[in-house]
């Protein structure tokens, strides 16, 4: 999508990032050829670039860098990026700037034995973190010596693979905290602002899933204290651009510095919604050398904004393991009010193993939190994504959960609410009847449509249309007898002794179907159907599989043989797509605890 939107585009290499977006020579060659005046780069690339430009002319590489000397980097300078990109150095700088920090070891952990010694001194539980890490990569929680040794090994391997830097640090693990971050904006003239907070506590594997601004937890005094410390840190490293200072906040509203991200965060739209500032525009102005246009007193909190990260992931596996595939159908809910979608894909795009599986950022805004959440619920119901597995069902369940609605959240929200893993929406008795009535009405509407061709009876001498049907609907909890009668565009459906009235325009060609069930509006999606009566419907965010048969067909179906289930006892399947990097066995070995490394 970004290539289509650009006036001019240049290919920087093949899909693997090491050969394209992280290839400094390729990036700089494109800058030279296009005569770009300014550039925004990956942090590690821009650090290398800015460091090269700071060298004496005789020491600069042979690539025509002299022609690039006038190019402006949109972002902070090298010192800030390096200092804040290294978790060890950033923690020391934060301490010196009088920012609250988490107790821990401030040096580099040499080996697993030293990691165990340090963990014992700090006191369990501890967090093992990659010094150069981010995005939840290279992080492990250890509750004892054995987990510390294992965590050290896995974290160092993941850190080396993801960041090319296997250095680790260890600090006290703050149990059951909130993850709240402060957006900062600074210029090259010594001015800096804090643009309020973002609540980012809904996470899986230390990666954010749902964000909102402001936080339900902070009072004005705590907000001001966090903001002032964030600005103090930004000034300490002479920061200039938009950046984010992340904190962990305990139940007593004590807050501790976590890290500073020297870039524009994924969740920045919620800050834009409540402040009215365009952060990208402000970054470009700062890079050009202009002073900030606003004072701290000018920064408002207007309304409430919520962002859901829509991923190509299977939420039923560890709250989201990546899915790959092609988007065969894609429709964003932009027809709804106060909805924003930031995405880089379109119908026909491929979700591959080379990049983060994020499909989009879905943002809704309201005058208050309840309004923003209601609009998010509607937006998720109206979001059409086909071809890949996605996490819409998990997102919807999170935002309607009573604990989330009340603001009772922490970074442990998902494992606490779903201790046995996410299972989808649990239907109430009324919701189950609504689903069965909608599915039966869809079935009958499809049968009636199949009898007509261009508005005419296919067989002129056919008998007049039926007005009632007796069906058998098989849902996961059992078989339900359903009686349907038609009156105009409405269906009267009797399910489990209860009558419901289902009305709709019945546009079966549309991916979205708006139905009203006894006055309750619902948006459903019919994902698939076949000649055997099997039907998949997305209802309240979750996909349900049903089988709908006529009463006669249902009675006869018991004589049909069932297909035997596949024997998977001798098959080892990866839970997610990836590359096999090691198989630590050979023919003849006895395997007691099999593990596949991906």
- In the three-class reduction of DSSP (H, G, I as helix; E, B as strand; rest coil), residue 546 is classed as strand
The bridge status of strand 38-39 relative to strand 72-73 is parallel
CA atoms lying within 13 Å on the CB side of residue 444: 29
The single residue listed with the structure tokens 């936080």 is 215
Return the pLDDT at 341. Answer: 98
The angle at the Cα of 191, spanning 306 to 266, to the nearest 5 degrees, equals 25
Residue 481 CB partners (closer than 8 Å, separation 6+): 470, 471, 472, 551
Residue 339 has pLDDT above 90, yes or no: yes
CATH 3.30.1490.20 residue ranges of the chain are 103-172
pLDDT bracket for residue 133 (50, 70, 90):
low
Q: Give yes or no for residue 157 having a pLDDT over 80.
A: yes
Q: Radius of gyration (Cα) for the chain, nearest Å?
A: 28
Q: State the pLDDT at residue 456.
A: 62
> For the chain, where do the domains classified as CATH 3.30.700.30 start and end?
429-449+467-558
Cβ atoms of 330 and 384 closer than 8 Å: yes
**171 is annotated as an active-site residue:** no
Comparing 12-26, 55-69, 315-329, the range with the smallest average pLDDT is 55-69
Q: Is the pLDDT of residue 56 over 60?
A: no
Residues 6 or more apart from 355 whose CB is under 8 A from it? 15, 17
Task: Choose, from 147, 181, 197, 259, the residue flagged as catalytic.
Answer: 259
Mean pLDDT of the 362-380 span: 98
Q: What's the predicted TM-score (pTM) here?
A: 0.85
Q: Is the pLDDT of residue 67 over 60?
A: no
- Cα separation, 386 vs 377, whole angstroms: 19
Cβ within 8 Å of residue 514, ≥6 positions away: 504, 505, 521, 522, 523
Q: Whose CA is closest to 449, among 509, 520, 515, 529?
A: 509
Quote the mean pLDDT of the chain.
Answer: 89
Is CATH 1.10.10 the right assignment for the domain spanning 1-74?
no
DSSP 597: B
- Under a CB-based contact definition with an 8 Å cutoff, are residues 471 and 547 in contact? no
Asked if CATH classification 3.40.50.720 holds for the domain at 429-449+467-558, the reply, yes or no, is: no
Among 194, 202, 200, 230, residue whose Cα is nearest residue 215: 200
Q: What is the CATH number of domain 178-417?
A: 3.30.470.20
Which superfamily does CATH assign the domain made up of 103-172 to? ATP-grasp fold, A domain (3.30.1490.20)
Give span(s): CATH 3.40.50, the chain. 1-74
């Amino acid at each position: 999508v970004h290539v289509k939107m650009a006036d001019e585009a240049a290919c920087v290499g093949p899909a693997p990032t090491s050969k394209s977006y992280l290839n400094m020579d390729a990036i700089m060659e494109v800058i030279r050829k296009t005569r770009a005046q300014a550039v925004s780069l990956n942090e590690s690339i821009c650090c290398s670039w800015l460091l090269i430009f700071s060298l004496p002319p005789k020491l600069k590489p042979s690539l025509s860098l002299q022609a690039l000397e006038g190019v402006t980097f949109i972002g902070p300078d090298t010192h800030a990026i390096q200092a804040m990109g290294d978790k060890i150095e950033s923690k020391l700088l934060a301490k010196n700037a009088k920012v609250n920090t988490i107790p821990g070891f401030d040096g580099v952990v040499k080996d697993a034995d030293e990691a165990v010694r340090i963990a014992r001194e700090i006191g369990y539980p501890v967090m093992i973190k990659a010094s150069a890490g981010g995005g939840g990569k290279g992080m492990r929680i250890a509750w004892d010596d054995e987990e510390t040794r294992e965590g050290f090994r896995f974290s160092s391997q993941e850190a080396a693979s993801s960041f090319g830097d296997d250095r680790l640090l260890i600090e006290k693990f703050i149990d059951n905290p909130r993850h709240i971050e402060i957006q900062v904006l600074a210029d090259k003239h010594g001015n800096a602002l804090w643009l309020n907070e973002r609540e980012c506590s809904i996470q899986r594997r230390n990666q954010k899933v749902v964000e909102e601004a402001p936080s339900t937890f902070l009072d004005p005094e705590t907000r001001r204290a966090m903001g002032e410390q964030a600005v103090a840190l930004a000034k300490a490293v002479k920061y200039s651009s938009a950046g984010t200072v992340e904190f962990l906040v305990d139940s007593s509203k004590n807050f501790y510095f976590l890290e500073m991200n020297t870039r524009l965060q994924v969740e920045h739209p919620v800050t834009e919604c409540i402040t009215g500032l365009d952060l990208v525009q402000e970054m470009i102005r700062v890079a050009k050398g202009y002073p900030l246009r606003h004072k701290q007193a000018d920064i408002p909190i207007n309304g409430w904004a919520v962002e859901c990260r829509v991923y190509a992931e299977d939420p039923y596996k560890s709250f989201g393991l990546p899915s790959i595939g092609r988007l065969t159908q894609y429709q964003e809910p932009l027809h709804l009010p106060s909805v924003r979608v930031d995405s880089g894909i379109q119908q026909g795009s491929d979700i591959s193993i080379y990049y983060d599986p994020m499909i989009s950022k879905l943002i809704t805004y309201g005058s208050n939190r309840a309004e923003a959440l209601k609009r998010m619920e509607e937006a998720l119901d109206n979001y059409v994504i086909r071809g890949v597995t996605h996490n819409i069902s998990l997102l919807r369940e999170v935002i309607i959960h009573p604990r989330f609605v009340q603001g009772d959240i922490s970074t442990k929200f998902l494992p606490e609410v779903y201790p046995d893993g996410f299972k989808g929406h649990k239907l109430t008795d009324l919701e189950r009847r609504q689903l069965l009535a909608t599915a039966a009405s869809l079935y009958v509407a499809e049968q009636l449509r199949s009898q007509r061709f261009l508005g005419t009876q296919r067989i002129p001498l056919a008998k007049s249309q039926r007005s009632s049907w007796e069906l058998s609907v098989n849902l996961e909890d059992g078989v339900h007898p359903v009686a349907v009668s038609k009156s105009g565009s409405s269906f009267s459906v009797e399910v489990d002794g209860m009558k419901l009235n289902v009305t709709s325009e019945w546009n079966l060609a549309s991916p979205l179907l708006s139905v009203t069930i006894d006055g309750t509006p619902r948006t459903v999606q019919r994902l698939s159907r076949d000649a055997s009566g099997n039907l998949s419907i997305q209802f309240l965010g979750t996909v349900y599989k049903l089988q709908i048969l006529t009463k006669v067909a249902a009675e006869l179906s018991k004589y049909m043989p069932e297909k035997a289930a596949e024997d998977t006892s001798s098959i080892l399947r990866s839970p997610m797509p990836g590359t096999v990097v090691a198989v630590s066995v050979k023919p003849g070995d006895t395997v007691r605890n099999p593990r596949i490394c991906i």
